[in-house]
Amino acid sequence: MEINLHLRLVIMTICCCFMFIIGCGTDDNKQPSITKPKLETTTEEIAQVEVDFAAEAEKISQTLSAHATAHASRDIDEAMKYWLRLEKPDVFMGRYGWGALMMSEKWSGVKESFEETLKEIGRNPIPGLAEKIGIDSRAKNATVRGKMVQQWGGAANYLATLRKDKDGEWKIRAIVFYQGKEDHKLIKEIKTPV
């Protein structure tokens, strides 16, 4: 039995050596050498964009003012021109009022809500003048906090988020109308960089 085990070990060693010799091959089978391309040194300037936060805040205020004017004239189609036209849930309107939170999602849902509310109640919740505007460092997103034009279902304040569209115009992405000091997590407020 010991001889059988020893014989197997010798045969395995010979097979391994034979496979090693075959695997190594000869120098006749030279592989082509791979040369790495030379990297050209280029200097690329990174353009820093100076953001005029005061001018951007003024454009945001104009957008909200035009939105309010359209609502005052009861023109929902005109008012919706100031909303980011996306059929995604990150476009929404939340209304705390009459003891509950009511949500409308997507551009079409917000428009439908405005139409139904105007028909049933005779007016819509409208954001008034901005009291606090926060703009991100790229001037692509902003948040606005302020008071409503008039109370709606007990809600007197709003927090809105705006985003620039592909044409560089500020559009409302989402808005929450709320009462008093309610702290909500629907919109994260932006602080303007200093």
pLDDT tens string, the chain, 194 residues long: the values are: 555 666 776 777 776 666 666 666 555 555 555 565 565 555 555 555 688 999 999 999 999 999 999 999 999 999 999 999 999 999 999 987 667 788 999 999 999 999 998 998 888 888 888 899 999 999 999 999 999 888 777 778 899 999 999 999 999 999 998 887 665 678 888 987 64
Question: Would you call 103 exposed, middle or buried from its count of C-beta atoms within 10 A (0-12, 13-18, 19+)?
Answer: middle
User: What would the two tokens of residue 194 be?
Assistant: 């200093």
Strand runs (DSSP E) across the chain, as ranges? 92-97, 100-105, 127-135, 141-152, 155-164, 170-178
